[in-house]
Structure 1
Amino acid sequence: MSDFESFGLKSGIWQGAIHRDARPGRLVLVHLGERLAEARVTADAQGGWRVGAAIPAERLSDGAQSFLLVEDQGAEGEPPQPGARHLGSLTLVAGALLTGDLHAELALMRSELELLKQELRRLASDPG
């Protein structure tokens, strides 16, 4: 279980907190297997750590984009080290294609619900 609590995306910054006494190792923002940036870590008043990772605007596009926050002991600027600990993920979904996907999914769910209703009615009316 991760000790990272995500507060979501605000003004392009993925914010959260890490609840532990010791300062975390290097926190790296990863997208499509590539290191994007290192997160900023500051001590908070409750004895934990506030985390902020800027999501680069050029990584935002139509479709679903997943960003990972990983912790390792690597040096600044290096890619994530093998065995890096996954702390959290942020998925952003955008674009016109999404609307079509949602409509298709809703239509499928409606048709499945109709089949279910028909079967329930049939079972309820069956005297045997």
Structure 2
Amino acid sequence: FAKYFANDYLRSKLSELSKTVQAGMERNKGSQEQVFTPVTNQISVMRASDGSDLVIARIDSVWTRKAGEGRESRPASDEEKALFGDSKATSTMRVTYVNVIAMVVPPAGSDAKIIPVGAERQPIKVEAL
């Protein structure tokens, strides 16, 4: 669906962070996976006077990172570090995130792209498996 969206900060930052982590994983024969799940009862829509819709939605995600070759998987951000605290690291880390996005969806039949207007991504749980 990326072709229907204008460029946005959240996807750019997610891509950048994922590439950085992936480079480290590849050096150590590790892996990573992110699974995104829309929270269908957490979507709000407001119709604009031009027929477009402002959509605000919650998307939960789980990011699992497996370090390779006898390595430990560590938090990837200051927020993850704060939640992980002094816990014992293992080779696998699973981080649960809450993502809230806001976007303008153009009227039906329009050639305009969906415009992301805001996003927030926060980890809520960090665990070593």
Same fold by TM (over 0.5)? no
TM-score (normalised: structure 1): 0.31
TM-score (normalised: structure 2): 0.31
Q: Larger Rg: 1 or 2?
A: 1
